[in-house]
Amino acid sequence: MRKYKLKRIAEHLKTQHNLPQLHTLHLASTASTNTLLLNGTDGVTTMSTTMSTNTPTPYTIVTSDTQTDGHGRSGRQWSSIKGEGLYMSISLPPFNSMNNPRSMGRMNILAGYCLCKNLRNVGINTYLKWPNDIILNNKKLGGLLLESTHQGSATTSMVMGIGLNINQTGKTLQHLPQGTSIRLSTGRKFNMYHAYKIVASSILEAHMLSNKTTGTEPHIQSLWAQFSQNIGEKISFHTEVQSQTKTVVTERGITAEGYIITTDKQNHEHIYTYGEVGYSNI
């Protein structure tokens, strides 16, 4: 992604979403776009050396051709190769502290929904795997990671990171049998400019929807029922991420906060606020 193209995207998004400002920063390489936006530095790059401040304002987009220490949930590494994948983070205005836990959960679900919806609009038939994986042809296309910093009970900053496999080949992903890319799944290369535009617009749309007042906000349970990869299906559920211990349950949906609802073999309902749905066959 070239700098002038990113700025062109920013101008389009600023108008589309009626934003007061939208800053951009493109890097050839960084450790982690999320860490950079949250902390002002990621140990490799410092915001103050590339922008006028070390503390990015809301609506700052950072993209990078590669990441040397990109991560997902629980610190899992996200590999990156120049020109093949999309690596982006966007700083967003924090939610009101009174409804922050609920809004954070909803934002996570809505970001996945908006991204899947907008990818489907261009013929990429994606689904969601709880809580934040993007699925294409039963394999992982990418993931989202919502992180925040706090002072006491107040959220001081909030960043949504996205990693998406765009033009990786089978050789690139041979060490990730559960992974895929748009190119692998469709048989054609996908325009990176359009990919960045779709992803950034989806995150901004999700943040707007998350901020809607009670009674006007989207019904995320209905949205999840349309886009979940596993709704009504048996899944292997790990209550501890990266644990080998799994429980076989049936996914029933999500709560208004975005927690997963399951039933066991005895049809007893269980709601989980944290955990992971496995990719392995049951």
Q: Which whole number is the average pLDDT over 166-183? A: 88
CA distances (Å), origin 98, targets 2, 30, 58, 63, 213: 40, 34, 20, 31, 13
50-104: pLDDT as tens digits:
565 556 689 999 999 988 866 555 455 555 677 799 999 999 998 765 455 567 8
Q: Which whole number is the average pLDDT over 106-112? A: 94
Q: Which of 1-5, 108-112, 228-232, 260-264 has the lowest mean pLDDT?
A: 1-5
To the nearest whole number, what is the mean pLDDT of the chain? 86
Q: Show the tokens assigned to 83.
A: 């020109």
Q: Show the tokens assigned to 211.
A: 């901020």
- What class does CATH assign to 230-277? mainly beta
What are the start and end residues of each CATH 2.30.30 domain in the chain?
A: 230-277
Q: Which whole number is the average pLDDT over 8-16? A: 91
Q: How far apart are CA 124 and CA 116, in angstroms?
A: 8
198-235: pLDDT as tens digits:
999 999 999 999 887 666 677 999 999 999 999 999 99
| Per-residue pLDDT at 173 | 86
As a CATH number, domain 3-224 is 3.30.930.10
What are the start and end residues of each CATH 3.30.930.10 domain in the chain?
A: 3-224
Q: Which whole number is the average pLDDT over 258-271? A: 96
Q: How far apart are CA 127 and CA 162, in angstroms?
A: 15
Q: Which whole number is the average pLDDT over 251-278? A: 94
30-39: pLDDT as tens digits:
888 998 888 8
Asked whether residue 281 carries a pLDDT value surpassing 60, the answer given is no
Q: What is the dihedral of CA 175, 184, 109, 95, to 10 degrees?
A: 80
